[in-house]
């Protein structure tokens, strides 16, 4: 039954106004809606009915693992554009020669990169994965 559902992420923010400013100014995102109430915050909608909610939280993310991945058509162009807006991409070295160069990981032609938002959430930019290639 779960497979027929949709998936949406939630990201904590210790300072919701600071986070909203980061997402607007650095990522160029505008909330599609605001979830009301104590656990509410801006909702950002993407393609195919996907999206995420930013919510006020006293907890702090570890930033040690990807909390949200955004699939794009041109990873290199997106990373270049984000860097021009001041987004700092993480240097990653997974061993075995798998590491980022100028913020971009390239493994067998699949590109990606990671950055932290204003709250320490680790976000990824990656190439689109064809639906037929996804694991079930």
Domain ranges of the chain: 7-130
CATH number for the domain formed by residue range(s) 7-130? 3.10.180.10
Nearest to 68 by CA among 134, 110, 5, 114: 114
CB 113 within 8 A of CB 79: yes
CB 31 within 8 A of CB 88: no
pLDDT per residue as tens digits for the range 107-117: 888 899 999 99
Average pLDDT over residues 70-76: 94
Q: How far apart are alpha carbons 96 and 41 in whole angstroms? A: 41
pLDDT per residue as tens digits for the range 79-96: 999 999 999 999 988 888
pTM over 0.85: yes
Would you state the pLDDT for residue 133? 53
pLDDT per residue as tens digits for the range 17-57: 999 999 999 999 999 999 887 778 999 999 888 999 999 99
């Amino acid at each position: 039954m779960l497979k027929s559902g949709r998936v949406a992420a939630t990201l904590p923010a210790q300072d919701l106004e600071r986070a909203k400013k980061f997402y607007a100014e650095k990522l160029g995102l505008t909330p599609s809606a605001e979830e009301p109430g104590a656990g509410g915050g801006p909702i950002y909608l993407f393609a195919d009915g996907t999206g995420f909610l930013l919510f006020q939280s006293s907890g702090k993310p570890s930033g040690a693992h990807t909390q949200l991945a955004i699939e794009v058509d041109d990873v290199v162009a997106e990373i270049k554009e984000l860097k021009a807006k001041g987004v700092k991409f993480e240097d990653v070295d997974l061993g075995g020669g798998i590491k980022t160069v100028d913020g971009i990981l390239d493994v067998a032609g699949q590109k990606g990169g990671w950055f932290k938002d204003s709250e320490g959430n680790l976000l990824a930019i990656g190439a689109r994965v064809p639906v037929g290639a996804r694991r079930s």
